[in-house]
Chain A
């Protein structure tokens, strides 16, 4: 089971999938083409996670539409499901892990139109900011911290396991944005 949640490659995960109907249901839901057509290698949950970050950056002018979409994502990602909390928590951590796996690439957080690559520390700090925005940040600004509690916990725990400085950075972001 642990191996399944540690793996981020969809095809390898399929091979490791435990015999559980709900886990299979989540897998199918996550890697299926919900709205866009014609592409097979889709991580729908990762996309919704990116959407949450984009929604965080929206101005107050579109607040109504933003909050409405956050509610839609909460439903889509089953954040209100109380029956399968452990499975969902692990799946959310896997989504976060997959996102964080992209945060070490050369392009990530690059500066001056890609002329200067970011240092490792700069990348980690941007990753912290991204993860904070797509979890606690958007939950607070849309007024849904209770509904998104499991999501926030999973993302925070995965981020803290990512690097030693993440905890301190996460707390700084909380302090700065939620005071």
Chain B
């Protein structure tokens, strides 16, 4: 029995072993991979993947999918920049409005999936197209530059770091965006493990009808989950805008697939009901390190796309294969 427990624990945490092996391989080929500036760079890079992946984890846990998060990020970029640059709004107000809008888009997705009954993949694909189009309409297809130059405080979300005295500023050791990501992961983990809502998410993903019979308001939960997915995508959009300093309607194209890769790689089953936040953290770190490592090894952007696609196929394939093996 003890041996069995050890095997189960190993199986649950095998993803971390994959991460360590990956780090070792990149560090072997390029010793600068483990240098402090690169680690800080990776933490900045993974932060917006990490933040968006929390909402996606909730959605996939209920056997759903959200293909609209890339478009939400683009729209949040454009709207936030438009409010600050073209209308002269206060930075925090613009951020709040953008986050509220992202959450509202999530609620709209929830409405289409839960109340109208459109399959999640179609509903969120429609949202993806609508809101990408809106981003183009609002920006006129042109970038809105100088967001951080005009509003230096906006750099707080991605460019600022904490120095050794814990004071935020342009120079420091721990990027604020990485701290935001860690806080979001802590909240996500709390929701999944310690709150009733997390229980409901697992229950709905495992057996929706039994959940309904046991007293869970399944439709309400779906609204909540898609709203959370929209909110976290919006927050990721703010971090991305702060990092790039310029809003573009073309931002985050294909981003949803990278986030899905992180989540599925982290062990969240596409069939729903199975998955843990710690696995998703590992998935995010693996994808972040993979991207950084490939850039450092001068792998072309096209090859990087091929590798990322393969990782997604392997992760989903492994999940489906293990389910099929169980059936046979």
Contact = CB atoms under 8 A, between A and B. Distances in A.
Most buried by B among A39, A47, A51: A47
Interface string A35-51: 11001011110110011
Interface stretch (B70-78, B205-213, B222-230, B289-297): B205-213
Main secondary structure on B side of the interface with A:
helix
Given A57-B274, A113-B63, 14 more contacts: A36-B215, A43-B213, A43-B215, A50-B211, A51-B199, A54-B199, A62-B193, A98-B213, A108-B207, A108-B208, A113-B121, A141-B5, A177-B4, A178-B4
B271 A111 contact: yes
B285 interface: no
Interface in A105-134: 105, 107-115, 121-122, 125, 129-130
B298 interface: no
A138 to B, nearest CB: 13
Interface residues of A, number: 44
Q: Which one of B4, B64, B274 has the greatest number of beta carbons of chain A within 10 Å?
A: B4
B326 interface: yes
B209 A60 contact: no
B1 A178 contact: yes
Interface in A87-101: 98-99
B72 to A, nearest CB: 19
A61 B167 CA distance: 33
Contact of B214 (A47, A112, A113, A115): A47
Contact of B206 (A41, A53, A98, A112): A53
A95 to B, nearest CB: 10
23 contacts: A36-B215, A39-B217, A42-B214, A43-B215, A50-B203, A57-B274, A60-B8, A60-B9, A60-B12, A61-B278, A62-B193, A102-B210, A105-B208, A105-B209, A107-B208, A107-B209, A108-B208, A109-B271, A111-B320, A115-B121, A125-B326, A130-B206, A140-B1
Contact of B213 (A46, A110, A114): A46
A106 to B, nearest CB: 9
B247 interface: no
Nearest to B119: A114
Contact of B210 (A99, A110, A113): A99
B119 A113 contact: yes
B270 A112 contact: yes
Contacts of A141: 5
A153 interface: no
Contacts of A42: 214-215
A130 B211 CA distance: 13
B202 A57 contact: yes
Nearest to B120: A113
Given A39-B217, A122-B327, A113 B12 contact: no
B44 interface: no
Interface of A: 33, 35-36, 39, 41-44, 46-47, 50-51, 53-54, 57-62, 98-99, 102-103, 105, 107-115, 121-122, 125, 129-130, 140-141, 177-179
Q: Give 6 closest A-B pairs by Cβ, nearest first.
A: A42-B215, A47-B214, A102-B209, A102-B210, A46-B214, A54-B202
A96 B206 CA distance: 15
Nearest to A141: B5
Given A54-B199, A113-B65, A130-B206, A33 B1 contact: no
B132 interface: no
Contacts of B243: none
Contacts of A59: 9, 12-13, 276, 278
A43 B214 contact: yes
A36 B12 CA distance: 32
Contacts of B199: 51, 54
Contacts of B207: 50, 99, 102-103, 108, 130
B213 A102 contact: yes
B280 to A, nearest CB: 13
A36 to B, nearest CB: 6
A130 B216 CA distance: 18
Interface in B120-160: 120-121
